[in-house]
Amino acid sequence: MAKDIGIDLGTANVLINVQGKGIVLDEPSVVAINTNTERLLAVGSEAYKMVGRTPGNIRAVRPLKDGVIADFDMTEQMLSYFIKKLNVKGLVSKPNILICCPTGTTDIERKAIRQAAEKSGSSVVYVDVEPKVAAVGAGLDIFKPVGNMVVDIGGGTSDIAVLSLGDIVASSSLRVAGDRLNTDIVNFVRQNFGLLIGEHTAERIKIEIGTAVADHRHEETQVRGRDVVNGLPKEITLDSNQIEGAIHDTLESIVVAAKALLGQIPPELAADIIDHGVMLTGGGALIDGLAELFSEHLGVPVHVSETPLQDVAKGTGILLETPEKITDLK
């Protein structure tokens, strides 16, 4: 019998949940190809190690950008590779698949996501929205007549949604998230220290010393890169407050969008959110001080999910147990 598969097709990472086994795969959404032959060389973790370190004939690419498919063929090959890699005993070639997309995707973008899953080998493909599935994975009971608000900050998109009775009442999707924060750090380091750093280094800085609130964290880290002026290797020291300044405007834009959404919902749902608070999920939820930043601006309690990186994948597993609760987007 086919085991159903839930896929969190993220801009930064792909997670796959197999029925009865839980999350069995968590790898970066990266593929490496030989540009001379267009042959696939590596996928996932192996390809991620190559980012910024490849010779001219090898290109490491992320086939998803801002939460949507930027390169259809590469996405399809990546998904096929991951599903084959599972090699789960009893997993026949045609499982049902639930795959997730941001709330702001167009019909054409959703169709591309569905087709990529179908071509990678499936019987039935369901497509549902990330904030709903993440809310389920984070343990919220969204199927009661009670308002729940979730802010899902991923790699490419930040999805903000208010849910009730199993569906989205109001939502907002920004193509501003973890990747933008990395870019903010790269730009800050170049402009203020004349140092060129790569995406991997920016990600490390964000995790090690990043904070959403000034003076909330006091950490330092050494950063190596290439001097803009003379092209030679150079090392500097950065601290948490500098990174707060670098990522402040981007985080502020997500907070402003969440505040605007609260202003659009019925007063009864707003009252529920005052009682239950807001749930932060996605990799961005791990940024130090983010809950405090949101709580200060929204005036409601804000909680960080226990497993923010896995909530969408966990939610797919729960929803596949009761497919009638899936909002299959066409």
Answer yes or no: do 106 and 165 share one domain. no
pTM of the model: 0.92
Low-confidence ranges of the chain (pLDDT < 70): 1-2, 87-93
Quote the pLDDT of residue 160.
Answer: 97
Provide the 3-class DSSP secondary structure of residue 104.
Answer: coil
Residue 295 lies in a domain: yes
Answer yes or no: do 287 and 234 share one domain. no
Handedness of CA 244, 305, 309, 262 (dihedral sign): negative
Given 246, 275, 292, the domain boundary residue is: 246
Given 246, 272, 290, the domain boundary residue is: 246
Residue 330 lies in a domain: no
Answer yes or no: do 146 and 128 share one domain. no
Residue 19 lies in a domain: yes
Answer yes or no: do 28 and 158 share one domain. no
Residue 32 lies in a domain: yes
Answer yes or no: do 281 and 220 share one domain. no
CA distances in angstroms from 139 to 15, 232, 314, listed in the order given = 18, 50, 10
> What is the arrangement of strands in the sheet containing 233-239, beginning at the earlier edge strand?
195-196, 220-227, 233-239
Quote the pLDDT of residue 222.
Answer: 97
Answer yes or no: do 101 and 219 share one domain. no
Residue from 18, 45, 17 nearest 31 by CA:
45
Residue 100 lies in a domain: yes
The total domain count for the chain is 3
60: its two tokens: 């490491």
Question: Any idea what the CATH number is for the domain that residue 300 is in?
Answer: 3.30.420.40
Write out the binding residues for ATP.
11-13, 155-157, 203-206, 283-286
- Can you give the residue range of the structural domain that contains 125? 5-132+311-325
Answer yes or no: do 79 and 194 share one domain. no
Given 228, 246, 264, the domain boundary residue is: 246
Quote the pLDDT of residue 89.
Answer: 44
Residue 77 lies in a domain: yes
Question: Any idea what the CATH number is for the domain that residue 182 is in?
Answer: 3.90.640.10
Answer yes or no: do 147 and 286 share one domain. yes
Answer yes or no: do 76 and 183 share one domain. no
**Cα dihedral 98→100→103→107 (10° resolution):** -70
Residue 187 lies in a domain: yes
Q: Largest alpha-carbon pair distance within the chain?
A: 63
**Phi-psi region for residue 31, left (φ > 0), alpha (ψ -120 to 50) or beta?**
beta
Q: Rounded to whole angstroms, how far apart are CA atoms 31 and 142? A: 36
Residue 191 lies in a domain: yes
Answer yes or no: do 55 and 160 share one domain. no
Answer yes or no: do 147 and 288 share one domain. yes
Write out the binding residues.
11-13, 155-157, 203-206, 283-286
Quote the pLDDT of residue 214.
Answer: 96
Answer yes or no: do 255 and 203 share one domain. no
